[in-house]
Chain A
Amino acid sequence: MLGCAAHAVLVVASAAILPQSSAAKTEPARVVTDETGRRVAIPADVKRVVSLAPNLTETIYALGLEERLAGDTDYCDTPPAAKLKPHVGGAQNPSLEAIVALHPDLVLATTSINRIETVDGLAKVGVAVYTTDPQTVRGMLESTERIAGLMGAEARGAALVAKLQARLDALAARLADVPQVHALFVVWEDPLITIGQNTFIADALRWAGAESVILSQQKWPRVSFEEVVRLQPDYIVFASNHAGFGAEELGALRSREAWKQLRAVELGHIAVITEEINRPSPGLVDAIEQLAREVHPDAFLKKENGKVEMENGSPVRVGAIEEFDTRAGLRPAPTAKFDDAYLGAAL
């Protein structure tokens, strides 16, 4: 019975205290809707930013705004200087109070690695969290521009994105007449996990003139090796890890019975590209260019650069390009995808 009294005391205590604690500490200058449809009050002057994902950290560095990066995660290793920033824990289970202790004006999260619970928890104590949700290369560019905008560096954002877009356009022009190769992108070897059609990696592959052989609606489908042997991809694409995907690993792979059955392995059509391919950040464009050189070496031999079109058959789908607008309510209503991302929210 006294146990009950204990709970009663706590209930009263939390009842009296909790509702007030969610008040924001600074006057919000503007309310924006983030890429998951959540409304976020962003302070007028964003001086301190905490990044909860490696790709966001990279984006901030690429924008040259790293001085305002107050903290990042244990996984943020690119560029190497990012490792020296105060860490708030892993991307999936950071310490909320470690984030709060850094007094951030803005916390950046992304759907591809962070948990909705982290975002909810921070929002509940009045920390501004902006979540990006890049699903395509174009989406990555838009996110980059939005992040720049949130930090009051629109011009830098526009300049960076224009530069990246120009590189992509040049690549698309170069590959305009080249047929796409069929590639198997290996996320994980054993068990074999590859990419689905709707991932930004699949989109990056398309920009590089390669189509994933596995057509799956799942994001990271696990496929049987038999299926790969049946499909016989032109190229096998790996992302190098930081230890370096060296000759040893490749040699070991080639000597495996199963992999030997692949024509691509026999022909040495194995592309090992920078790990940037796994991160929707500006470095993704480097990875795309690298992959294009690997799978279309001939296109880079010919120096002819005849016609340059604006949208030269690039794989941007209709609807992928949206007006960049941070004002609330102007973005389209949340779609099924957004609902999906919020499945975990009720937990």
Chain B
Amino acid sequence: MKPLTPRRIFGVCGLLLAVLFVVVVISLRMGAYPISISEIVMTLFRGVAGQREQIPSEFWLVVFGLRLPRIALGILVGAALSTAGAGFQALLRNPLADPYVLGVSSGAALGAIVSLVIAPHVPGLIQIAAFAGAATTITAVYFLGRRGGQLDSPTLLLAGIVSASFLSAIIMFLMTTLSGRDLRGMAFWLMGDLSSPAAIDLRWLYFILLVVLGSIYTTSSDLNLILTGEQEARHLGVNVKRVKLVVYIGASVLTGLAVSVSGAIGYVGLLVPHVMRMMFGTDYRLLIPASALGGAIAIVIADTLARTVVAPTELPVGAMTALAGAPVFIYLMRRKVR
């Protein structure tokens, strides 16, 4: 293993950033409305230069009005989910931990639905409720997953799975009280869907994402030590309690954030950190930014496929991530066994 230098971190992140940029440009090119790469580049260039008048209005509408906001939302959701996954995996020292498996996504979904049933028109409430749902669930799962004062991996996962199905049952119950139109929206939402624009300004959501990513990043050296064992980390002077708190809250906020704008998208939080670990090593100082970027890349690709494979009809992106994620998961699992 090569030693981790700032240069390597920047190099890897730069590489992923370049990949993300290419994926974004390709994604901007794809869709029901035909636009060529050169037109995309020209539109982007003129858009950034502020020469809007020179762009045909449909190009403007499709590129800046429809595709770019959706891609920006996808990047946000992907980065949030896979960073949350990486965080949970370190905290629980379990490679299977991710917001979806641990029931945190379901908790966030339940919080969001409850807020919709009680007070549908309060802006921002759904995000707060989704976070509250996520935080409550991860706390409950954490305590349910302990055995003899120790966090026990199988117990923890079972606790997560049971919590997820219990929460889903409550969600289904609440859904029967919704009218047909809301039910349809909710059905898409539960599958994970990026087709609807976020109710809150994207800039706010990105601001929260950056703050939380930053605070989780400050714990990355400590997370490396915690991964070798909590006792050992404590002996080395790590404030384990503080680190755990920061990462717990941070990962729950990120999950709540992602779920509140896109619904429950599975597998991204689970798989992306694994793939990043296999490619770039287990050091959290690199793994956190790499997971964020990798998650963004994964979601943008998945959503581009969701928009185009059966065009003009659109698929929910959650269906795409599950479709691609489950086989990748099995592959990774089998590879480790061998």
Tell me the minimal C-beta distance from A45 to chain B in angstroms.
Answer: 17
Among A85-117, those with CB < 8 Å from B are 87-90, 92-98, 100-101, 103, 111-117
Cα–Cα distance between A298 and B22 once the two chains are bound (Å): 72
Do the beta carbons of B64 and A89 come within 8 Å of each other?
A: no
Of chain A, the residue at the smallest CB distance from B293 is A3
Do the beta carbons of B196 and A121 come within 8 Å of each other?
A: yes
Number of chain B residues close to chain A: CB under 8 A:
74
Residues from chain B with Cβ under 8 Å of A17 in the complex = 47-48, 64, 68
Do the beta carbons of B9 and A1 come within 8 Å of each other?
A: yes
Residues from chain B with Cβ under 8 Å of A92 in the complex = 184, 188
Tell whether A220 is near chain B: CB-to-CB under 8 Å.
Answer: yes
Do the beta carbons of A10 and B47 come within 8 Å of each other?
A: no
Instruction: With a 10 A CB-CB cut-off, give which of B17, B263, B290 has the most chain A CB atoms.
Output: B17
Of chain A, the residue at the smallest CB distance from B123 is A346
Cα–Cα distance between A87 and B121 once the two chains are bound (Å): 33
Do the beta carbons of B182 and A14 come within 8 Å of each other?
A: no
Tell me the minimal C-beta distance from A271 to chain B in angstroms.
Answer: 25
Tell whether B195 is near chain A: CB-to-CB under 8 Å.
Answer: yes
Of chain B, the residue at the smallest CB distance from A1 is B289
Tell me the minimal C-beta distance from B62 to chain A in angstroms.
Answer: 5
Tell me the minimal C-beta distance from A238 to chain B in angstroms.
Answer: 20
Known: A90-B313, A100-B33. A346 touches B126 (CB 8 A): yes
Tell whether A186 is near chain B: CB-to-CB under 8 Å.
Answer: no
Known: A94-B312, A115-B184. A125 touches B61 (CB 8 A): yes
**Which of B138-146, B161-169, B206-214, B247-255 touches A?**
B206-214
Tell whether A2 is near chain B: CB-to-CB under 8 Å.
Answer: yes
Cα–Cα distance between A341 and B20 once the two chains are bound (Å): 38
What 1/0 flags go to B57-86 for Cβ under 8 Å of A? 110111011111100100110010000000
Residues from chain B with Cβ under 8 Å of A125 in the complex = 61, 65-66
Do the beta carbons of A115 and B181 come within 8 Å of each other?
A: yes
Of chain B, the residue at the smallest CB distance from A112 is B180
Do the beta carbons of A10 and B75 come within 8 Å of each other?
A: yes
Residues from chain A with Cβ under 8 Å of B210 in the complex = 4, 7-8, 11
Tell me the minimal C-beta distance from A118 to chain B in angstroms.
Answer: 8
Tell me the minimal C-beta distance from A187 to chain B in angstroms.
Answer: 12
What 1/0 flags go to B258-289 for Cβ under 8 Å of A? 00000100000000000000000000000011
Do the beta carbons of A14 and B68 come within 8 Å of each other?
A: yes
Of chain B, the residue at the smallest CB distance from A218 is B176
Q: Which residue of A7, A101, A124, A342 is within 8 Å of B79 (Cβ)?
A: A7
Cα–Cα distance between A283 and B46 once the two chains are bound (Å): 50
Known: A3-B292, A18-B64, A125-B65. A101 touches B32 (CB 8 A): yes
Residues from chain B with Cβ under 8 Å of A95 in the complex = 31-32, 307, 311-314
Instruction: With a 10 A CB-CB cut-off, give which of A3, A96, A220 has the most chain B CB atoms.
Output: A3
Tell me the minimal C-beta distance from B122 to chain A in angstroms.
Answer: 8
Cα–Cα distance between A120 and B261 once the two chains are bound (Å): 14
Q: Which residue of B13, B47, B76, B311 is within 8 Å of A3 (Cβ)?
A: B13
Tell whether A339 is near chain B: CB-to-CB under 8 Å.
Answer: yes
Tell whether A267 is near chain B: CB-to-CB under 8 Å.
Answer: no
Do the beta carbons of B203 and A88 come within 8 Å of each other?
A: no
Among B11-55, those with CB < 8 Å from A are 13-14, 16-17, 20, 31-33, 47-48, 52
Known: A93-B315, A344-B181. A98 touches B14 (CB 8 A): no
Tell whether B186 is near chain A: CB-to-CB under 8 Å.
Answer: yes
Do the beta carbons of A124 and B197 come within 8 Å of each other?
A: yes
**Which of A20-28, A59-67, A206-214, A273-281 touches B?**
A20-28
Tell me the minimal C-beta distance from A325 to chain B in angstroms.
Answer: 24
Residues from chain B with Cβ under 8 Å of A14 in the complex = 68-69, 72, 202-203, 206
Of chain B, the residue at the smallest CB distance from A337 is B179
What 1/0 flags go to A304-347 for Cβ under 8 Å of B? 00000000000000000000000000000000000111111111
Do the beta carbons of B72 and A117 come within 8 Å of each other?
A: no
Tell whether B217 is near chain A: CB-to-CB under 8 Å.
Answer: yes
What 1/0 flags go to B191-228 for Cβ under 8 Å of A? 00101110100110011011001100100000000000
Tell whether B116 is near chain A: CB-to-CB under 8 Å.
Answer: yes
Q: Which residue of B16, B123, B203 is within 8 Å of A11 (Cβ)?
A: B203
Residues from chain A with Cβ under 8 Å of B32 in the complex = 88, 95, 97-98, 101
Residues from chain B with Cβ under 8 Å of A112 in the complex = 180-181
Tell whether A16 is near chain B: CB-to-CB under 8 Å.
Answer: yes
Known: A94-B312, A121-B196. A1 touches B185 (CB 8 A): no
Known: A2-B289, A89-B312. A21 touches B64 (CB 8 A): yes
Tell whether B331 is near chain A: CB-to-CB under 8 Å.
Answer: no
Residues from chain B with Cβ under 8 Å of A6 in the complex = 13, 17, 20, 293, 296
Among B59-115, those with CB < 8 Å from A are 60-62, 64-69, 72, 75-76, 79, 112
Cα–Cα distance between A347 and B33 once the two chains are bound (Å): 26
Residues from chain B with Cβ under 8 Å of A1 in the complex = 9-10, 13, 217, 289
Residues from chain B with Cβ under 8 Å of A345 in the complex = 120, 199
Tell whether B178 is near chain A: CB-to-CB under 8 Å.
Answer: yes
Tell whether B131 is near chain A: CB-to-CB under 8 Å.
Answer: no
> Could you list some 7 contacts between A and B, CB below 8 A?
A2-B17, A22-B65, A89-B311, A97-B32, A118-B195, A343-B178, A347-B189
Residues of B within 8 A of A (CB): 9-10, 13-14, 16-17, 20, 31-33, 47-48, 52, 57-58, 60-62, 64-69, 72, 75-76, 79, 112, 116-117, 120-121, 123, 125-126, 178-182, 184-186, 188-189, 193, 195-197, 199, 202-203, 206-207, 209-210, 213-214, 217, 263, 288-290, 292-293, 296, 307, 311-316
Q: A14-B72, A18-B69 are in contact. List 20 more A-B contacts (CB 8 A).
A: A1-B217, A5-B17, A6-B13, A11-B202, A11-B206, A14-B206, A18-B64, A18-B202, A20-B64, A21-B64, A87-B312, A88-B312, A90-B313, A100-B33, A111-B181, A117-B188, A121-B196, A125-B65, A126-B61, A347-B116
Residues of A within 8 A of B (CB): 1-8, 10-11, 13-18, 20-22, 25, 74, 87-90, 92-98, 100-101, 103, 111-118, 120-121, 124-126, 219-220, 339-347
Q: Which 8 A-B pairs have the closest CB atoms?
A: A117-B196, A2-B13, A344-B185, A3-B289, A98-B32, A125-B65, A89-B313, A98-B312
